[in-house]
Chain A
Amino acid sequence: MFFQLLINGLIAGSIYALIASGFSIIYTTNKFVHFAHGSTATVAAYFLYWIFSNFGLPLYLVFPLTILIAALFGFLVHLLIYLPLKKRKSSSVILLIASLALMAFFDNLMQLLFGADVKILSIFPHGKGIEILGAYITPIQIVILIVVLLLFFGLWAFSKYSKLGKIMRAVSDNPELAKTTGINSIRVQHWSFVIGSAIAGLAGILIALEHNIEPAMGTHLMIQGFTAAVIGGVTSIPGSIVGAYVLGLTENFGIWFLPSGYKSAIAFVLLLIFLIIRPQGIFGINQGNRDQKM
């Protein structure tokens, strides 16, 4: 039972991490809560469903195309909705409200286009999981674990060594100062939306394979993703992934002692504990900035 719960926790954590990491990338450079980030994953999942069931394209084309669409979607949302608001010097509260509106809009749009019923993607042959130490895990779940692991190291290396990653951290630390040193902060914000949304696209694909597709999938996951990001430290991208695992494991081990109905309650108690005791999260250090902007 221990190993099964451990694996369940790791899988849940990986799924939260897929949402939390993209969310965190957008948050660090833009400093507002982009709740519609979950909808990006939903839109990607439905796009995958639509293109897969209508055109019969090979998978090596379908998956990258879905990620591309998600990135484009994120870019357009930033360009057409958030940027005009930012240019009017709207506060982060206004941007948050706009993001909530976008979330409701796209969830309902997907429902209008595809219907409210759950869509099941049967791309890969399925069946009993593989047994490891008495616990079961399926190939898709293994893929999810590996992808998140790669994502973790990739993002860590990206923000530490790549030029864009360094610029992003600079904008994240102080957007005004970054601007005076000649950094085009709007361009960086565009990029963060593109990269964050591409990750959401990847999340949409993997979650569609693991949990099926439905209009509210992104919203449900966004709650967990947001919680994970706060636990790990919203301003730290690798932190948000660690936070996701903390959340997934706590939820799953918690039910060892409590009825499973309390699973979500565990998540929110954890969120409250972190907000009160360590508001900057596990990895966050940027406390002053956070207090100012959030």
Chain B
Amino acid sequence: MPKKLGIVIAGLALFLLIGGGCTRTDAPADVSTDTDAPVEDTSPIKLGWLGPLTGDVSSVGTADREAAELAVTEINEAGGINGRMLEVTYEDGFCEGKTALAGGTKLINVDEVVAIVGGFCSGETLAVAPSAEEKHVVMLSPGSTAPSVTEAGDYIFRVVPSDGFQGKYAAEFVYNTLEKKKVAIVYAITDYAEGLANVFEEEYKKLGGEIVVKDSFLQESRDLKAQLTKVKNSEAEVLYFPTYTEAGVVGFKQAEELDLGIQILGPETLSDEKLVTAQGAEGTLYTVPVSNESEAFKTKFLEETGRDDMPVYASQTYDAVKILAQVIESVGTNGEDIKNELYNVKNYEGVSGMIGFDENGDLTSAEYKVMIIKDGKSEDYTK
């Protein structure tokens, strides 16, 4: 008897699956008839959001989701886009390619979003980019800084500067300002951290510095003692440490336990509250893009979300949603039109600063500064 029941259930499931496929193929036909009569269209405009909601980096991802929600609420309270409400589907990208691809493909093919805010992590953006290119869906990333995103495609934009700038800035800072000539690099094996590590290495060598150790770790690793032991036994005077939050927290702790005793420098991910307050973080330096972040937005965001600290790239996420809304308002929901219009954005006054895109969809300018972690807080570094 149970066997028979199993067959019946399997049959039903199969039927449902086939049925599901049918409704999906019907959907595009509806959309095309909608665009014939845009005046009467009051259906919501769908955007997608892709970023880490679980796993490593999820503390930043969930905070930036709140920034996106804030922007959406404001747009809808002001009457939406040409009378149509804005609706965002949030998908988890787990800060890695495989999961992001599943989420991104769903956004593009099933939810049929007009554009995607994200991916957040570089690995997410790079994984989804080919599908987005093929289906003419614009991706506007608030946090993917890997240099390789520049060449990811015509439909791929970002409101953060490429790490080509940041890695170079960090290398120059170590060589010229700190005047250290021997550096160890330990990075997480991710598109983001590896991109930074490579740019740093290249630029630092160009300046005449020496990389004495270059080693890596898996993003989900919680034991960096082996790598740090290698660094400690080298002649390195500075450790360049591009990482995400979770591995960074244990990395700082283990560096202190092993009495590493050299200056640690990292990228903007170190600004996460969990890292700033982590054991062993004291005295660590990190580079951040100089954002002319609007104080008014900061106050509003902290008030709305009840948070104490501004998460990294929250203002960029907010800007990304607002820019897309503005572009859709003027050119409609066609992917190609949105893409072309985005290239015309040159002087958008966002809450994260002035935004303009170059021919690669990258920001036209980037400025950085160095922060230092002191007494569990970040402040501007002065030599």
List the interface of chain A (C-beta within 8 A of B).
Answer: 1, 4-5, 8, 11-12, 111, 115-118, 120, 122, 126-129, 131, 136, 138, 211-212, 214-217, 220, 251-252, 255, 259-261, 263-264
Contacts and interface: CB of A to CB of B under 8 A. Distances in A.
A138 to B, nearest CB: 5
B250 interface: yes
B216 A261 contact: yes
B217 A260 contact: yes
Interface in B222-269: 222-223, 225-227, 229-230, 232-233, 245-246, 249-250, 253, 256-259
B216 A260 contact: yes
A5 B249 CA distance: 21
Contact of B245 (A118, A128, A129): A118
A86 B216 CA distance: 45
A128 B257 contact: yes
A255 B226 contact: yes
B58 A8 contact: no
Given A128-B259, A136-B259, A116 B62 contact: yes
A118 B246 contact: yes
Q: How large is the interface on B (under 10, 10 to 19, 20 to 34, 35 or more residues)?
A: 20 to 34
Interface of B: 53-55, 58-59, 62, 189, 215-218, 220-223, 225-227, 229-230, 232-233, 245-246, 249-250, 253, 256-259, 274, 278-279
Contact of A118 (B227, B229, B233, B249): B249
A117 B56 CA distance: 7
Given A211-B250, A261-B215, A264-B221, 12 more contacts: A1-B233, A4-B233, A12-B225, A116-B54, A116-B59, A117-B62, A128-B256, A136-B258, A216-B220, A259-B215, A260-B227, A261-B218
Contacts of B218: 261, 263-264
11 contacts: A4-B225, A115-B59, A116-B55, A117-B62, A120-B278, A126-B253, A126-B256, A128-B256, A259-B216, A261-B217, A263-B218
Contact of A111 (B54, B217, B221, B230): B54
Interface-central residue, B59, B189, B218, by most chain A CB under 10 Å = B218
3 shortest interchain CB distances as A-B pairs: A117-B59, A116-B58, A261-B216
Among A5, A12, A111, A118, the most chain B Cβ lie within 10 Å of the Cβ of A118
A122 B277 CA distance: 11
A261 B230 CA distance: 13
Contacts of B278: 120
A93 B257 CA distance: 43
A182 B250 CA distance: 51
Contacts of A4: 225, 229, 232-233, 258
A212 B226 contact: no
Contacts of B279: 120, 122, 126-127
Contact of B215 (A216, A217, A260): A260
Given A5-B229, A255-B226, A260-B226, A120 B215 contact: no
B336 to A, nearest CB: 36
B246 A214 contact: yes
A116 B53 contact: yes
